[in-house]
Structure formats: C-alpha cells, structure tokens
Amino acid sequence: MVDLKNILRGIYICLIAGVLVHCSPKEVSKGNSSIIPKPQSVEEAGLGDFSIDDGTKLFVSKGKNSEFVKEYILNMIDNSLSIKLKPTDDKDGKNTISLVLEASSDDVDFYDVDESYELISSKDGISIKANSSRGLFYGVQTLRSILPSDIEKKNDAKKVSLAVPSLKIVDKPTFKYRGIHLDVGRHLFPVEFIKKYIDYIVMHKMNTFHWHLTEDQGWRLQIDKYPKLTEVGAYRKGTLKGHYTDNLGHDGKRYGGFYTKEDVKEVLAYANKNFVNVMPEIEFPGHSVAAIAAYPWLSCTGKQIDVETKWGVHADIHCTKEKNFKFMEEVLSEVVDLFPSKFIHIGGDEAPKDRWKKCRFCQRNIKKLGLKDEHELQSYFIKRIQKFLSSKGRTLIGWDEILEGGLAKNAVVMSWRGTKGGLEASKKGHYVVMTPYTYCYFDYYQSKEDRDNKSPLAIGGFLPLDKVYSYNPKDEFEKEAKKFILGVQANVWTEYMKTTDKVEYMLFPRIAAISEVAWTNKEAKNWDDFLNRMKDQYKRYDNLGINYKKPDKGEDQGEESK
Ligand code: TNX
C-alpha cells in the first residue's frame, strides 16, 4: 500500500536537502594567471587542476626564514579558506604544496642571491623549486597571484576548496636591484605603515626599501652621539600650506618625530623576514638644514638657523672643516652598526656652493688640496665618505651629482636627473641604479584630471601609469655599459603627502608598472596585456584596503606621455 504521508515526507526531505545543497558553502573558485610582475614564462601545463582542500599538506625546505615562509602560506590559505594546511616531511606526497630548496645561494651577498624559481601546479599538488629561500618566497608570491583575489581579504563566507589551474612558470628577475624609496623627512609615517610599505614592496617582487631618513625639514633617525639631531632637528615650526608656488606660508603647527633605534630594528627584522634590504640614506653635504639647526657649527657660517619649513633647495650645507668629517664618521658608524645593508646612501644631491665660496675653511681646503673649484671640493667630500664606508666594508651610493668633480671607482650612482648621469657613470665603470624623474618620480601627477584640478595636490609633473610602464632602462645603454645597470627604483618624495592614504594613492598602481620594468624582460612586456592583468590586481588592492588611484577612462593611455 502506498503511504501518501511517507511520499509527502520524502518529497519534503528532498526539497530541504536540495535547498541545503544549493546553499552549502561548497564553492569552488578558480585562480588565474594574472601575475604582476609578469613572469618570464607561463605555460598551461595541462596536468589537471589542483584543489586545495582540508587534506592539503605543506612541505617547506629548511633554509633562511623557512619558519616564516611556512607561516606565511599557512596564514594565506587559512585567512581565505579557513583551511589549515598540514605540515609534512614528504616533499613528493600527493595533495601537497611543496617548496623545495634545490641549492642554497642564501648566504651570498644580498644582490648576488639567485632569485629565480619554478612553479608547477598539477592535480597532485603545487611544487615550487628555487636555489634560494628568496626565490622560493617569490614563488609563493606568484602562488598568491594565481589564487583568486579573494585570498587577500579575511573572508566571512568561507569556501571549502579552491582550484588552482595547471601551470608551469619559470621565472627570474631582469634586474638585481629593484627599489622603492620613501622620503620620511618631509612627512613621517608610523612604523606600522613602514611595515605595510614593505608588504607592498614584497607583493610586487621588489627587493629594496630605500629609506630617506634625513632632510632639511626633519632629521628622523636617533643618533646617540648627537642627541640634538632628533631633540631639535626632528621638529619644524610648521608645514607649508598649499603648493610651494602659492606662497601661503606655513601653518604654524609644530611638526615632527623620529624613529628610535628600536623602531629601526623592528623594521629591519620585518624586512629581513620578507627578504627586503633596507638601504638607509643620510644626506651629505646638502639637504642638511635640520642637522645644522641642531648643531650650527656644522655650517660654514655657524649661525643658528631653524629647521626648514619651505621645500626646495637650501643654501646652508655641511662645511668641509675637519669637525664635519668627524661628525659624518660618527653618525655613519652608528648607521652602519644598525643597518646591515651593503649599500649606504649618502645623498650628495642639490648642494649649492654659495656658502663654500665665501667660507675661509672651504677656500683654504681648495688651496691646500690643490683643487680646481667647489665642485672638486664636493668630490673630495664624497670621496672621504666613500673611503670611510669602505673601511667599514660598505659601498657608497649617491645621487648622480656625486659624479661631479670625479668619483671613487667602486661608488654606485643613482641616476635621477634623467638618464644622463647613469650613462656617464656606467661609461666610467660605476654601477648604476636608474631612477630618472621622467619615469620614476611618483610624486608627480598621474592623470590629467588630477593635474588640472590640482587635486590631490602633487609637486607637479605628469607621470601616468603607461609612461612608467614604457620605461626600458637598458634602451639607452650601449652593449658594454648595460651590465653596469644594477637596477631600477621609484621614488616617493613626500612634500605633498601628509598621510599614509596619500602615499598609497601616489604609489598605487604605479608600483605595479615599475615592478614589471624591474622584473620582466623588455620582450615580454606588453601594455595591453598588463592592463588586462591589472583588472585582477585592482581587486587585490580593493581587498587589501589600499587607497589606489582608480583608472580614468582613457587617461592612463595618455597620449602626451608617449
Ligand atoms: C629632487 S631627487 C630631490 C628631492 C625632492 C624631489 C621632488 C633628489 C635627489 N632630490 O629633494 O623631494 O626632487 O621631486
């Protein structure tokens, strides 16, 4: 006998089950190959999709920061999927993400580390192989890019599995040095933000954080031997209102602060875990009004002056009397003790010679040393710093003005006034880092709209995304000279960036373009393809809560910039 009641109950159960199945969190999302910077080679491997699920295991070879790298992947997967990968010792097991160090180049000089890696995903797992822990970490960054952009945010609606397309990626950077700079002299930012900045650097496979620590408008680093550098030199009476050219004066609000050595150690530890070199910059002989305000005897006139409130280039610079060299050596000794970076940046830019021309010490030095003029005196100044840094096992790097009047052979030149300085330096056998303002100054406007409205306010200039992308540092160099290009860097000067939001706005998305300039071979670069991959990148920036400049219609293809 047919029991109607039972049939109805059956239908009801089926309906409920259907609804449950339909609404279950069993969502499978699939990753993509929108990797930025673009790898040297990406192929569909056709070995079947891999599914990360709660049975997936994780193997990480022992090496530099391997515990950190392990945590990094565990968190990445856990945050998005609520899946805790199970650590395993079996690198060849099924359903395993496996990071294998094939040979170790971890212990060589930072810029000689082999940063290449290979990533293969198949239905059985994901294998990342490299000859250094840093290479493995870049493989992890690539894995991050091929997973859906949702992994960048803490997901409320958890998924239970995640499909990774089958790819074979073979990759290595074009340039050894890939830098992002931040000026904390004009405006400074909390340590927490500096760490975020390092995250941004890592996400784009850049490897150097150039920390511009001293300026006319503020000295930002604790120096024990000279406490007034921060007691006095870290604070200015006010910050310029509007644009420099508006002549509105300053706001009268005391502004300042500095990083203690403990702060710096915290940043260094974080950067080191993330395979980023932190290169400090201490400016000599120019851009030193804040130091002079703290110790007036550092200048030629010896007059008490205030920490600068105006932007620009200022006449009071370091004098060349012996006491200044002692100061320089004592300050740099503390810097060298604190920062492990092989390269120590000593500025060297924009040092007007007005004071030196009228200074009896400087004029006496010119005569005594048989120098031609004040430019050769600057060269003497820089060579003395270089000698000192060499004695400490470090290499001097400075802005391209350090070429004027001759330069010690092993000094490195950062070419900012166009590409001339870099070309000239490379011909003389110096290594160079290319950061011409025409392509690499992220304090310039990035769209016509921003520029026309002067909002958000920028220093001037015009540097849209496509212009940054179009840069090929090797183009202007002759064959022999090419090998002297160490790398490329973008600079973030902060005269007009008071907040971390503004810094992000000026940095993003241009950081994506410069990362591809630094990492990807010229032949593999393609603007339309880049824009296409940026669609996914913008979602990541959204998920990370980054205040990036949104693409304007047609704007980023700005014909003017070509
Ligand atoms: C030039 S680049 C400077 C900085 C300014 C920047 C503004 C360089 C070595 N010096 O002091 O902040 O222009 O774009």
Which atom from ligand 1 is nearest to the alpha carbon of 349? Answer: 9
DSSP H/E element including 134: helix 133-146
Judged against a pLDDT cut of 50, whether residue 216 lies above it is answered with yes
Query: Average pLDDT, stretch 108-122?
Result: 97
* pLDDT per position as a tens digit, 84-99: 999 999 999 999 999 9
Which atom from ligand 1 is nearest to the alpha carbon of 183? Answer: 12
Q: Is 208 helix (H, G, I), strand (E, B) or coil?
A: strand
Judged against a pLDDT cut of 70, whether residue 14 lies above it is answered with no
* pLDDT per position as a tens digit, 384-428: 999 999 999 999 999 999 998 888 888 999 999 999 999 999 999
Which atom from ligand 1 is nearest to the alpha carbon of 494? Answer: 12
* pLDDT per position as a tens digit, 227-248: 999 999 999 999 999 999 999 9
Instruction: Please provide the distance, in angstroms rounded to a whole number, between the alpha carbons at the two ends of the chain.
Output: 84
DSSP states along 302-336: ----PPP-S-S--S-----SHHHHHHHHHHHHHHH
| Residue 370 DSSP code | T
Report CA(281)–ligand 1 centroid distance (Å): 13
Query: Average pLDDT, stretch 512-535?
Result: 97
| Residue of minimum CA distance from atom 13 in ligand 1 | 493
Q: Which residue from 394, 342, 427 is spatially nearest to 112, judged by alpha carbons?
A: 342
Judged against a pLDDT cut of 60, whether residue 294 lies above it is answered with yes
- Cis before 37? omega within 30: yes
Query: Average pLDDT, stretch 460-482?
Result: 95
Which atom from ligand 1 is nearest to the alpha carbon of 399? Answer: 9
Report CA(492)–ligand 1 centroid distance (Å): 9
CA distance 553 to 548: 15
Cβ neighbour number for residue 387 with a 10 Å cutoff = 11
Which atom from ligand 1 is nearest to the alpha carbon of 347? Answer: 9
* C-beta 350 within 6 A of ligand 1: yes
Model pTM above 0.85: yes
Q: Which band of pLDDT confidence, cut at 50, 70 and 90, is reported for residue 554?
A: low
Query: Average pLDDT, stretch 304-325?
Result: 98
* From 9-18, 86-95, 208-217, 280-289, the region with the lowest mean pLDDT: 9-18
**Residue 502 class from Cβ within 10 Å (0-12 exposed, 13-18 middle, 19+ buried)?**
middle
Which atom from ligand 1 is nearest to the alpha carbon of 414? Answer: 9
Which atom from ligand 1 is nearest to the alpha carbon of 441? Answer: 14
Asked if residues 399 and 416 have their Cβ atoms less than 8 Å apart, the reply is yes
Judged against a pLDDT cut of 90, whether residue 9 lies above it is answered with no
Q: Which residue from 288, 290, 271 is spatially nearest to 341, judged by alpha carbons?
A: 271
* C-beta 443 within 6 A of ligand 1: yes
Ramachandran region, residue 74 (left: φ > 0; alpha: ψ -120 to 50; beta: rest): alpha
DSSP states along 398-436: EEGGGGTT---TT-EEEE-SSSHHHHHHHHTT--EEE--
Judged against a pLDDT cut of 80, whether residue 379 lies above it is answered with yes
- Cis before 285? omega within 30: yes
Which atom from ligand 1 is nearest to the alpha carbon of 287? Answer: 11
* C-beta 556 within 6 A of ligand 1: no
* pLDDT per position as a tens digit, 181-205: 999 999 999 999 999 999 999 999 9
Q: Rounded mean pLDDT of the chain? A: 92
* C-beta 308 within 6 A of ligand 1: no
Query: Average pLDDT, stretch 68-79?
Result: 94
Report CA(183)–ligand 1 centroid distance (Å): 9
- Residues with Cβ < 8 Å from 176, sequence gap 6 or more? 111, 112, 115, 486, 487
Which atom from ligand 1 is nearest to the alpha carbon of 313? Answer: 11
* pLDDT per position as a tens digit, 247-270: 999 999 999 999 999 999 999 999
Q: Which band of pLDDT confidence, cut at 50, 70 and 90, is reported for residue 7?
A: very low
* C-beta 416 within 6 A of ligand 1: yes
* C-beta 459 within 6 A of ligand 1: yes
Which mutation among 212, 413, 491, 497 tests ligand 1's pocket best, with the greatest number of atoms within 8 A of CB?
A: 491
Judged against a pLDDT cut of 80, whether residue 158 lies above it is answered with no
Report CA(407)–ligand 1 centroid distance (Å): 21
| Residue of minimum CA distance from atom 5 in ligand 1 | 493
Strand partners for 389: none
Report CA(210)–ligand 1 centroid distance (Å): 14
| Residue of minimum CA distance from atom 4 in ligand 1 | 493
Judged against a pLDDT cut of 90, whether residue 153 lies above it is answered with no
Report CA(493)–ligand 1 centroid distance (Å): 7
* C-beta 399 within 6 A of ligand 1: yes
CA distances from 501 to 191, 196, 445, 545 (A): 15, 12, 16, 10
Report CA(260)–ligand 1 centroid distance (Å): 25
Judged against a pLDDT cut of 70, whether residue 353 lies above it is answered with yes
- Residues with Cβ < 8 Å from 419, sequence gap 6 or more? 434, 436, 438, 476
